[in-house]
Chain A
């Protein structure tokens, strides 16, 4: 691009544009992944090209809000965004942005570019030094400690959530708690002020939402994008009112960063929470060193220290630049590695699960008889009172009415740890009371439906273990629970817990999406010819007779399977169809081709089925990953209820 006449705006050549595109891409990648952070790279990058600090900050903010918008929309699709929290923090951050920008302008007019650069660099060093080291330390600690355990809420967040200030309380879904805005306003202000100074408010915003308010790290990083959009828009208006935005810089960076932000957002779906902290902490500490090295040069330019030898100044700036590149490279490398590992593992899992469900060689059962199974006398209903459990409650009572079963309804509140209990006693008591009130309501519904029902609200650190233990204790025949909780207690209750309960329970598990209805239109039985499929068939026969429901038997083959394998699939279907006919059930059999989970769900949709019955193979850990993937995906994708039948 040609030289411009505006004094604040530097000429750009092809190398500059390429540099901005690459840096923009990496900055966007980091932003999409950790919710912010592109700017701590982009502001110094522009400054290293000779762009005055204030123009660099202004142009950065102008590229930030559209990037944050695109990133927030992308991550909202993954259910990671708490829009309300983002807007509340964002609006209070606006005040911080205006104040921070005002200070910047005063410094620029009083001390010129060197003063502005020094101020920005000092802010980097102080903020990144304190928060960056803590985040990195916590990432390392969490990485060592973490298994599949859910993230623990910090002590301070427990306290913040337990404080009740009338007239100021707002419910946030990412926290699954009501928090006083008197806590969020100062956090928002600090976030905004930092954003206007170094264009990366997220380095306060994300840790604050995670450590102080108690939002999960993934949700905090995604919600920060909403905050970044709100304050980025405000900041852009403020700076462009003074004519400081270089739209060329902003749009060139945006060109690269939108590629990055999309990729970074996709990456978050493959990683655990500590990776967010690891990337954030690593980059923060490296950029801190980079900016610290440049500070003596700015001090010298302002004559606050003895004038540095030109060679030394040049060396310091060069080393600072190299460290900045190292920060860029490290952050991008960690995100790329996480993305690559995640995608590869996911593909391997899909391949293995698909193969396991429809193996190339089918072991013909030694006996033509099917295993005896399918008792429905005692139900354990796991509910948390959320909308995600509504379907489970409704259908558990309906089914119990048909089968004449007894129902035990439980609601498990997390937080059995003694120390946590001491910290959040009020909170846990409140949750237990809420759970009891909900269970009373369930008992009333059961009574109205003529179903024998008892209930208990319990407390445990591991929801799935408690559910499995309760089922074992009462010798339950069936556990009924909901699906697709996305946050807080609901997520713990019916999200990952659903899969874990299936892994740990010895009895069958019925998973009911909130809108699903089990009225007996048609059942789908999926079998691969193993004893697990047989168990599903026996259970299906029992249910079909109770509900007078027709059944479709499905055995899926993959396109790459041999003719012999396909012939065996027909034999499997034929064997189960004859068994069901003998039981007096109206039945049809099909052998479709494709990916088992997709085909099963599509068949259920096409047949307007209200229940899919599957044999559950895996129990826990590696075995579950290798063998149970298909069931898990069917449960996740199906619109109707899914019954996972455990083999004896």
Chain B
């Protein structure tokens, strides 16, 4: 028996769907309004209380961390046609990843693909290269992780860091930005 817990004689376990806040807000019946009716004292609070259980992690709300946008870019010079670029994002201790974001100046043939690897844990966060548009949105259309990912603390003087590999799919130079949105939340533990 593997660890996947797959069984063909019973329906798959119900998994909650990834939801984007903009999409939530566009629902015909706004679930946040339901949360207000359920006794939340104000609408804005309801967005986060309800979203906390769905799109964001409620437990993070006690941390009051500094918002952070660590990032890399291939700009001046841009990443050459069909070239692969590698870089690292060094992170502060206790950085907790909430979402990715990305943009490319050229997106005719798919823009770029990206791989993300947690160096200290030696774990790939993307198993295969992911097209940037399927991994991340931009600031106006973020896809939040259902469970924020804590990168932890420095290990043997090696700060938390992510190795980023980017492959330009375009036949022209591509100005690329890729980064994380997250918070510094000491003591955060995934529920």
The answer to whether A and B come from one shared complex is: no
The interface of chain B, by Cβ under 8 A from chain A, is none
| Chain A residues proximal to chain B, CB less than 8 Å | none
